[in-house]
């Protein structure tokens, strides 16, 4: 498994990152541990989680995923061989994260989150601690193709980025985290964190975890240049568009046990004209003799600006296919065919 530099941290992470958001909901602990074992055996050295997980977020399950990962390390060891990443929630009215009150990106809430994550993960430090989503009002994903009312909304109690960054500086100095990253962030947000860092407020962000897939290439507009010139690593999530690019929902299919059948929370990937785009890419994959899921993951994994593709699976067959994407030879012919469809359908699922 090829390793790539993580920002300017000096760490190297595998081209595939093992995502974990199904562990504790769709997957039990034994199934999650089997996924970790397979991924590590295949050369993955990077695991991503969050205080919010598993998905869908609920007070009765929140934190289970981190506990499952912590149990793995306690049972099997090897913490020092894994780059472990977690996330703190941004502004949210959900009160179960902070014991009965809303959460913001302020010192008390960030420290509460990191201490709980460290305890559940049964570790003394996190290699990468990420801001799951901003404190300010932005569209989910923070990189829309059309701007809505959020662009004109500034909250009176919005937490300044400099204030949040100062907290992460404190966490680094205390040794609780080694580096920090952003997620679901815009070009403006990334540049503001960089500017505050350049002004001496705190460390530079090492990474940006944003959605990126065949049906959402919005990272390529502005953010790609920002991250390339500032050495901020892209960690891509949702490479299969929550399963739609696997082909399993083609022609209205609704597989039993699928995320859509269980939770019906895939609206980000069900926007107008999205289904036609999913089908076009699935058909294209098959024309190259590849499974749609393998093709879609290979597109993400092999992009020249990609640091790590965060894959998720609910069974070992799915995970093996995702890991195989690191070995696919992505050709100019494949890229041209993908770009031809993209020219026609654009980014239907930002």
Q: Give 112-171 as a 3 state SS string.
A: HHHHHHHHHHCCCCEEEEEECCCCCCCCCCCCCCCCCHHHHCCCCCCCCHHHHHHHHHHH
Alpha helices in 161-302 (DSSP H): 161-174, 187-198, 223-230, 259-263, 274-287, 292-301
Tell which residue, 22, 49, 68, has the closest CA to residue 114.
49
Helices (runs of H) and strands (runs of E) counted in the chain:
11, 10
Three-state DSSP state, 259: helix
Sign of the Cα pseudo-torsion (117, 158, 186, 232, in order): negative
Strand 3-5 to strand 12-14: parallel, antiparallel, or no bridges (unpaired)?
antiparallel
The beta-carbon contacts of 266-272 under 8 Å, at least 24 apart in sequence, are 266/242, 268/140, 268/141, 268/242, 268/349, 269/215, 269/241, 269/242, 269/244, 269/349, 271/348, 271/349, 272/348
Q: Which of 53, 129, 244, 249 is catalytic?
A: 53
Provide the Cα torsion 280, 328, 208, 284; round to 10°. 0
Spatial contact of 241 and 269, defined as CB atoms under 8 Å apart: yes
Catalytic, 53? Answer: yes
Q: How far apart are CA 284 and CA 204, in angstroms?
A: 40
Query: Which residues form the catalytic set?
Result: 53
């Amino acid at each position: 498994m090829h390793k790539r530099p993580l920002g300017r941290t000096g760490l190297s992470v595998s081209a595939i990152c093992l995502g974990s958001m199904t562990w504790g909901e769709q997957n039990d602990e034994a199934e999650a541990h089997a996924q970790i074992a397979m991924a590590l055996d295949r050369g993955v050295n990077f695991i991503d989680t969050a205080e919010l997980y598993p998905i869908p977020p609920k007070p009765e399950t929140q934190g289970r995923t981190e506990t499952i990962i912590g149990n793995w390390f306690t049972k099997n060891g090897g913490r020092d061989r894994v780059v472990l990443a977690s996330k703190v929630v941004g502004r949210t009215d959900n009160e179960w994260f902070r014991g009965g009150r809303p959460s913001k990106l302020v010192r008390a809430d960030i420290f509460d989150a990191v201490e709980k994550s460290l305890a559940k993960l049964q570790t003394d430090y996190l290699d990468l601690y990420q801001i799951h989503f901003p404190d300010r009002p932005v569209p989910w994903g923070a990189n829309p193709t059309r701007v809505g009312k959020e662009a004109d909304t500034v909250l009176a109690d919005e937490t300044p980025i400099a204030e949040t960054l100062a907290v992460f500086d404190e966490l680094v100095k205390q040794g609780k985290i080694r580096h920090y990253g952003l997620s679901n962030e815009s070009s403006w947000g990334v540049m503001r964190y960089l500017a505050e860092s350049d002004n001496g407020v705190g460390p530079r962000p090492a990474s940006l975890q944003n959605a990126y897939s065949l049906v959402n290439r919005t990272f390529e507009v502005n953010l790609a240049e920002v991250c390339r010139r500032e050495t901020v690593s892209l960690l891509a999530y949702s490479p299969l568009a929550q399963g739609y690019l696997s082909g399993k929902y083609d022609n209205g299919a609704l597989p039993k046990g699928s995320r859509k059948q269980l939770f019906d929370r895939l609206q980000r990937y069900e926007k107008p004209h999205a289904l036609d785009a999913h089908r076009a890419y699935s058909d294209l994959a098959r024309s190259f003799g590849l499974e749609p899921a393998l093709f879609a993951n290979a597109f993400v994994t092999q992009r020249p600006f990609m640091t790590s593709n965060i894959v998720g699976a609910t069974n070992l067959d799915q995970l093996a296919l995702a890991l195989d994407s690191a070995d696919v030879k992505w050709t100019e012919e494949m890229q041209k065919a993908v770009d031809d469809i993209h020219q026609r359908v654009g980014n239907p699922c930002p």
